[in-house]
Structure formats: C-alpha cells, structure tokens
C-alpha cells in the first residue's frame, strides 16, 4: 500500500551569511570612519533594494539542505540523525512550515504539529492553567480538545498544586514537565519532534518516551530528531542520515545508526586538530588510543587501553580538567573519568604543551564497539574545549572465563566477580 | 471542514485531508481560510496580551483611564486657556479634546503594539507555524479593549457636561473600525520591516509622539486655514478624528466631506500596502528574525 504522507523532491534551503574581512580590521580612526561610512552606504542601499542586512565584507551562500529526496508513509516513525550542522533542524523547520524551502518541492498530506522546543509561547506571568491553554493553542490544539484533556495533562505533569501560580514561580523541573505534558498530548496526523527529550529528569524522560511510543502506535506519522541513539532506536523503525545538508542514507533505523556511528567518527583511533587558533585557552591538539605504545583501535580485554591527550595551554589556568567519556555503541555513557579525580587540589597550569595519559582497564568490557569523547573544562565555570569527533575502539574477549557464559547475560559491563561461600552453621 | 480536526481515536483516516505543497515563492492559495482556521489561536493570543498587560502593576487597568484623562486636562488648559483656540460650536472644549483623544490613543497604541509585535514573539515565530498575520492583529485587539475602557470616561464626561449625542453616535462603531484599519495598514508594514531592519523600532515612538501634535487632537481641525484643509487630510487620522467628533458632538462639528474621502483613500492605500508587503515577507520571517 503506498500511502505517502510526506514527499520531498529536490528540497534545498540556502542561507546567506557574512564574513568580516581579515584585512579590514582597521586601527586608525580615519579608517574606522571610512569603514563605517561605507557600511552605512551599503546598508542603506540594501534597505532601498529590500535586501536583508548582512554584516561583513564578504558573503557566502550556505546550503543547509541540498537536493533532499524522500518519501514517508503514513504511520511511520522516522528518526533523523546526523552531526551538528548537518541540517536536521533546518529540515524540520521546512517540514513544519516555519521557513520556506529555497528550491524543490515538499508535499504534505495531513496536519503537522511541530515540537521544536518545549514550552514555546509559555508566558511567565500567566498561571499554569492559563499556559496550558495558551501553549496548546500555539501547538495547534482546539480549545475544546484542551479542555477535554486538561486533567490528563495536569496529572501527567504532576503540578496539580501549582495550577494557579504564575509559571515564573515554578522550578525549572516543574516548568519543563508542564511544557512537555502539553506537547505529549498533541494528536496531529504528523508529529515533528526536535531534540526535546534532553530536558527534564531521567524518570520524566522515560515517561515521555513511553507516551511518544504510544503516539506512534496510534497510526500517526512521527519524525524525530535526536542525538540519543538508544531513544531513537526504540522509537523509530526507519532512519534518515543527514550529512552536510545531504541525505546520505535512508532505511532501517539500526543500519542507519550503525552507518552514522562509523562514518561520522574518526575510525583510526586518533584525532589531530586541523584548525588552530580558535582562541581556546586550552586546546586539545591530539588524541591517541594506544595499545602497548602503538595507536590501535582493536583491544583484547586482557589489555590496557591508554588515552593519550596532547594539549596546549595558552594562558595560566586554575582547576582545568580533562574528561574522558567512554560510550557504548548506542552512545550511552558507560562512565567518565577526569584527570583531577582523587586530586582535588586546584592545579595551576602554566602556558605550554602537555601530554596526559589515561589508562583504562578493559577487563569488565563486553565484546563490542565503544567510543571515546574527550572534553576539557573548568568545572562549573567554563567549557574549554570539546572534540566533536568520537574515537572508536573495539574490544574482543580473549581470556575471560565468561566468554561463552556471558553471551546471554544482561548488563552493559561484564565483570568477573569471585564469590565467597561460607558454610553457615 | 473549517476547524483543525485532529483524530482522537487514532483509527481511520479523515475523509478529507488538506494537501499542502511547499515551494519557494509559491503563493498560498488557502491563505485566508488558513487564517480562519487559526481563529482560536488569534483569540487566545489577544486574550494573553490583554491579561498580561497590567500584571504586576499596582493600579492595573486604571492606567487605561489615567493616561487619556490627564492628557485631556493638559491639552484643554494648553490649547483652550493658554492658546485661546476655539471649540467646535457650543461643545465643551474638554469634551471636544476627549472625542479626539479616544481615536488617537486607539490608533497610537495599536500602531506601536502591532509594529513591535513580531519581534516580541520572535521565539514563537522561529519555533511554530501559524499564519503570521495573527500576531499583529491580536496586538491590535488588546489595544481595542483599552479603548473600550476609555470610552466609559467619555460617557461619564458627557453626563458631566449634560451633553446629549445625536443620532450620529450610532455611526461611531464604523469610525472605530476605521481607526483600527488606519493603524493596521502601517502597523503590518512596519512590523514586517522591523523583522529585517530594527531601525523601525526607533521610528515608531517618534512618529507617535509627533503625530499627536500633527493631528487635530488638542484643537479642532476647523482651526486649519481653508486652503490647507484638504491637504491636511492626507494625514488619515484627521479624517478619523473628524469622524469621531462628528459622531459625538453632532452638528457642532460638521464633517468635511472631500477631506474625509481623501483620508479614507489614504487608509485604504496603507492597508493594501501593509497587507501586501506583509504577505510578501512573512514566509522568510523565521530566517531573519
């Protein structure tokens, strides 16, 4: 049965952005005046011709989406994945009519409700009760419909006591719960959701995921953007991978996720920074995954993996911390460790080049693929550097006595724990 | 088939589903029906603007009374007592000023609210779709409720001066609508421009301030020399204010027909300009805001 509800043909979206010219950073007052006068003239001309004001000397066209073709059937739940800036959000914005495409054509059958941000249109001065009606109407619910679901929404959000309090007095958790609860009760034919599950506490997230799954089962078409691979796999059967504005692949969600994880990451177990001088106080230059002193992506779980991080400090820093996160194949964080663990004296770092090594014991790891993310920050104060590329490594089980037995065990890790038995009298 | 019919029970598809085609530069054929479909959102946004207006103020809605009342007192003293300008016929000067103050405040409040409306709902516009026309028009509705409150003062004043209106007062709703339309046209145009060029944010307070003196609010438009009277009506508010005075003061303030016709044309022109500019730019609001 071909019951296509969304069809995109050659869809494209172009943005124009301006760049400040390197050579035009004048110092002398005369030059600055000249520059401003010229800027004023250009802006006035833009206004007369009805062009938007773009600050900068050179302009660049950016294709946020290019040549996108796909079809989505009724009742399908489609997950859209891709790295930051791949065009996922732009695609959702075009789909939900917030912005028009620059090229191509998009045909949509049925009404679309989009949820790009929870709590859109919430007014801080209005009470919870009033905001439910306001937010509901903004998301496309009829008043009668909201009234019918009102009690359900309130119960779901667990804010009964504070219904007549202005939401500006709410705790941020309550605010998010209420906002999400309204959204979770939407019942359009096509539901478009951006990364909104990243808010709220874990328990509430789980509740929302359950509610969304229900929505999918009622025959509605759902489009879902997320970085949370396990959520997206559990919600969607079909996946779409975007890369630099282009549709790379579309098909079975599992396969798309696997492809994304292997294509979007650096496969050879090291990372070398290409762009320098981004002005970070601490810049991570190189990351190496080492097995016995050699770069490697393959490990036996009897071996040790060493994460070697080369970084540059450009000014005196106090309390800077490097964090290594180990992620599972579905990008859930297995654990994270920092170079300051167990060393709580705030260390002063003088400018210079440093090498940090983090040895990781692989004994507990199950056989499979893992990822490593490295970040640097001064805790609670600022983020110093984040490496978007994930490093990958694979663990093979060679020695563990659990190799065979462990296949069907539950659990993310597989520790070998020696039990003690004591005969009690 | 007018309201958004969301399925409740999941099961079968609706007999009639709107098919939407999005293409660059494509004029939306269902523009006005779409607007009608979103009327509930319009009402709710208007209600929000009204109920938020005087939150966390001490005297609240009394502000809607104080502002025009004080302006009336100042203008009456200034133009009548100091500048010795005549009133229309036998009508009390204060009443004549207030009859102009009503449409003027309606016009200026709705113009400034409407022109700032899109930027004030930037987060809404970049996150949800709805016909954008709803935002400025809902802002105007909020200004209109303020007008209704000040209207009560007019009634009180008329009792005070024992001034009975004639049959013309029945035409007042028509002129009220005209005042709204007069502000809607430029309001739409400027709010759309505001999205692109924030300069217009600074233009409006200035225009409104100037307009108060350029329009016949503190004085009667019969004070304008006859040869200039027609040209004076290029300011659309002249026609609206004259109309209000004619309705409220009756025969004391006769309506100058050719001038009124000119004002009417100017209002229509701006309305057309506002709507067409707005529609041309609205599809790219989210990219520029």
A vs B: CB pairs below 8 A: 129
CA atoms within 13 A of residue B112's CA, in its CB half-sphere: 15
Residues 6+ apart with CB under 8 A from B285: B118, B125, B132, B192, B195
A69-263 adopts what CATH topology?
Answer: Rossmann fold (3.40.50)
pLDDT at residue A317 above 80? Answer: yes
Q: Given a cut of 80, is residue B46 above it in pLDDT?
A: yes
Residue B182's nearest CA partner among B224, B140, B146 is B140
Which helix (DSSP H) or strand (DSSP E) does residue B211 occupy? Answer: helix B200-214
Chain mean position to CA A294: 32
Condensed to tens digits (0 to 9), the pLDDT of residues A28-73 reads 677 777 777 877 787 777 777 766 666 666 677 888 899 999 999 8
Asked if B103 contacts B240 with a C-beta cutoff of 8 angstroms, the reply is yes
Q: Residue A70: which H helix or E strand, with range?
A: strand A58-73
Would you place residue B3 in the very low, low, confident or very high pLDDT band (cuts 50, 70, 90)? very low
Residue B14 has pLDDT above 60, yes or no: no
* Residue B132 CB burial class (10 angstroms; 0-12, 13-18, ≥19): buried
- Chosen from A96, A110, A187, A214 to mutate, greatest number of chain B CBs within 10 A: A110
Nearest CA in chain B to A130: B48
Token pair in block for residue A367: 């056989």
Between CA A68 and CA A244 the distance in angstroms is: 11
Judge contact between B135 and A138, C-beta under 8 A: no
Q: Considering only CA atoms, which of A230, A378, A376 is closest in space to residue A307?
A: A376
CB contact under 8 A, A120 and B8: no
Alpha-carbon Rg of chain B, whole angstroms?
21
How far apart, in whole angstroms, are the C-alpha atoms of residue B187 and residue B191?
6
Please give the Cα distance from A214 to A228 (Å, whole number): 19
Half-sphere exposure of A87 (CA within 13 A, CB side): 25
The Cα–Cα gap between B279 and B133 comes to 8
Q: Domain extents for chain A? A: 13-64, 69-263, 270-408
**Segment B100-154, tens digit of pLDDT:** 999 999 999 999 999 999 998 888 888 888 889 999 999 999 889 889 988 988 9
With an 8 Å Cβ cutoff, are B196 and A102 in contact? Answer: no
Query: What fold is seen in the domain A270-408?
Result: Coagulation Factor XIII; Chain A, domain 1 (2.70.50)
Q: How far from A49 is each of A42, A44, A54, CA to CA, in Å? A: 11, 9, 13
Of B25, B197, B286, the CB nearest to A93: B286
Task: Give, to the nearest 10 degrees, the angle between helix A172-184 and helix A143-157.
Answer: 140
- B→A contacts (Cβ < 8 Å), by residue, are 3-4, 6-8, 10-11, 13-14, 17-26, 40-41, 44-45, 48, 51-52, 55-56, 121, 123-130, 196-197, 283-284, 286-288
* Best mean pLDDT range from B52-56, B69-73, B124-128, B270-274: B270-274
Alpha helices in A249-363 (DSSP H): 253-263
Residue B11 confidence (pLDDT): 38
CA distance B140 to B180: 8
Q: Which of A289-293, B59-63, B250-254 has the lowest mean pLDDT?
A: B250-254
User: Tell me: the pLDDT tens digits for B83-99?
Assistant: 888 887 778 888 889 99
pLDDT of residue B42: 92
Average pLDDT over residues B225-234: 87
- Which residue from A53, A116, A137 is facing B44, i.e. has the nearest CB? A137
- Whole-angstrom distance, CA of residue A205 vs CA of residue A194: 14
Q: How confident is the model at residue B10 (pLDDT cuts 50, 70, 90)?
A: very low
The beta-carbon neighbor of B196 closest among A52, A141, A218 is A52
Alpha carbon separation from A64 to A13, A22, A87, A89, B92 (Å, rounded): 6, 25, 5, 9, 65
Alpha-carbon Rg for chain A, nearest whole angstrom, is 26
**A204 phi and psi angles, rounded to 5 deg:** -70, -35
Residues of A in contact with B14 (CB under 8 A): 110, 189
Whether the CB-CB separation of B179 and B172 falls below 8 Å is answered with: no
For residues A219 and A326, the model is more confident at A326
Does residue A79 contact residue A226 with C-beta atoms inside 8 Å?
A: yes
Same CATH topology for A69-263 and A270-408?
Answer: no
User: Measuring CA to CA, how many Å separate B143 from each of A365, B146, B236?
Assistant: 66, 5, 19
pLDDT for B270 beyond 90: yes
Beta bridge partners of A105: A9
Q: Which of B17, B71, B35, B36 is nearest to B215 (CA)?
A: B71
SS3 at position A175: helix
**pLDDT: which is higher, A287 or A213:** A287
- Predicted confidence at residue A400, as pLDDT, reads 67
The pLDDT score that the predictor gives to residue B12 is: 41
Cβ neighbors of A382 (< 8 A, separation 6 or more) are none
Residues above pLDDT 70, as percent of chain A = 83
Is residue A372 a contact partner of residue A335, using CB atoms and an 8 Å limit? no
Evaluate whether A420 touches A402 at the Cβ level (below 8 Å). no
Mean pLDDT of B149-172: 88
**Token pair recorded at residue B36:** 């009608």
Q: Is residue A403 within 8 Å of residue A364, measured between CB atoms?
A: no
Tokens of A97: 């009519």
Q: A157: closest CA among A125, A190, A189, A122? A: A122
Alpha carbon B166 to chain centroid, angstroms: 25
Question: Residue B4 pLDDT > 50, yes or no?
Answer: no
On whether the CB atoms of residues A331 and A261 are closer than 8 A, the answer is yes
Token pair for B98 = 């207030």
- CA distance linking residue A26 with residue A38, whole number of Å: 13
| Contacting residues of B for A100, CB less than 8 Å apart | 22-26, 283-284
| Interface contact flag, A189 B129, Cβ < 8 Å | no
Substitution target from A77, A121, A132, A169 for chain B, most B beta carbons within 10 A: A121
Average pLDDT score, chain B = 85
């Amino acid at each position: 049965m071909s019951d296509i509800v969304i069809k995109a043909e050659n869809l494209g979206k172009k943005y124009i952005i301006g760049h400040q010219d390197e050579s035009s950073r004048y110092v002398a007052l005369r030059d600055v005046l000249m520059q401003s006068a010229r800027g004023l003239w250009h802006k006035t001309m833009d206004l007369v011709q009805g062009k938007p004001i773009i600050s900068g000397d050179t302009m660049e066209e950016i294709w946020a989406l290019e040549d996108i073709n796909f079809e989505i059937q009724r009742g399908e739940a489609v997950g859209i994945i891709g790295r930051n800036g791949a065009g996922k959000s732009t695609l959702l914005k075009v789909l939900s009519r917030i912005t028009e495409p620059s090229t191509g054509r998009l045909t949509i059958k049925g009404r679309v409700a989009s949820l790009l941000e929870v709590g859109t249109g919430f007014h801080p001065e209005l009470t919870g009760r009033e905001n439910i009606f306001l937010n509901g109407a903004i998301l496309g619910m009829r008043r009668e419909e909201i009234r019918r679901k009102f009690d359900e929404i309130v119960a779901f959000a667990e804010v009964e006591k504070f219904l007549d309090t202005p939401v500006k007095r709410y705790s941020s958790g309550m605010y998010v719960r209420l906002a999400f609860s309204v959204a979770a009760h939407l019942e359009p034919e096509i539901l478009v959701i951006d990364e909104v599950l990243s808010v709220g506490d874990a328990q509430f997230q789980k509740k929302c995921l359950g509610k969304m799954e229900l929505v999918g089962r009622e025959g509605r078409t759902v489009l879902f953007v997320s970085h949370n691979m396990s959520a997206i796999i559990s919600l969607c059967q079909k996946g779409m991978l975007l890369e630099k504005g282009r549709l790379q692949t579309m098909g079975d969600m599992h396969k798309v996720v696997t492809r994304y994880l292997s294509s979007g990451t650096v496969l050879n177990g090291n990372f070398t920074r290409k762009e320098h001088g981004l002005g970070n106080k601490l810049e991570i230059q190189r990351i190496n995954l080492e097995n016995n002193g050699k770069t490697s992506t393959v490990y036996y779980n009897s071996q040790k993996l060493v994460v070697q991080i080369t970084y540059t400090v450009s000014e005196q820093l106090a309390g800077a911390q490097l964090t290594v996160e180990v992620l599972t194949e579905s990008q859930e964080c297995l654990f994270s460790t920092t170079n300051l663990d167990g060393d709580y004296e705030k260390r002063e770092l003088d400018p210079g080049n440093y090498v940090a090594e983090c040895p990781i014991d692989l004994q507990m790891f199950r056989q499979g693929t893992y990822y490593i993310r490295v970040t640097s920050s001064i805790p609670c104060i600022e983020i110093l550097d984040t490496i978007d590329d994930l490093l990958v490594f694979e663990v093979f089980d060679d020695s563990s006595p659990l190799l065979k037995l462990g296949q069907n065990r539950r659990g993310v890790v597989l520790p070998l724990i020696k039990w003690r038995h004591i005969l009690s009298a | 088939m007018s309201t958004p019919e969301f399925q409740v029970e999941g099961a079968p598809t609706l007999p009639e589903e709107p098919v939407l085609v999005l293409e660059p530069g494509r004029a939306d054929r269902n523009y006005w029906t779409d607007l009608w479909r979103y009327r509930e959102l319009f009402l709710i946004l208007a209600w929000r603007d009204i109920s938020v207006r005087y939150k966390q103020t001490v005297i609240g809605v009394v502000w809607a009374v104080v502002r025009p009342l004080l302006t009336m007192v100042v203008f009456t003293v200034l133009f009548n007592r100091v500048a010795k300008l005549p009133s229309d016929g036998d009508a009390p000067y204060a009443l004549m000023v207030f009859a102009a103050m009503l449409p003027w405040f309606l016009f200026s409040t709705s113009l400034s609210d409407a022109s700032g409306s899109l930027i004030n709902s930037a987060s809404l516009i970049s996150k949800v779709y709805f016909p954008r026309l709803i935002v400025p028009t809902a802002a105007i509705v909020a200004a209109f409720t303020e007008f209704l409150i000040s209207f009560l003062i007019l009634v009180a004043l008329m009792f005070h001066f024992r001034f009975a209106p004639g049959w013309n007062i029945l035409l007042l709703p028509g002129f009220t609508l005209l005042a709204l339309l007069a502000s809607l046209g430029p309001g739409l145009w400027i709010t759309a421009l505001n999205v692109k060029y924030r300069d217009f944010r600074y233009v409006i307070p200035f225009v409104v301030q100037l307009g108060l003196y350029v329009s016949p609010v503190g004085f009667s438009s019969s004070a304008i020399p006859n040869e200039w009277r027609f040209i004076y009506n290029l300011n659309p508010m002249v026609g609206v204010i004259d109309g209000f005075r004619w309705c409220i003061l009756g025969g004391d303030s006769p309506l100058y027909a050719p001038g009124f016709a000119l004002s009417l044309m100017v209002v229509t022109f701006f309305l057309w300009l506002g709507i067409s500019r707005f529609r041309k730019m609205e599809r790219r609001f989210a990219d520029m805001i």
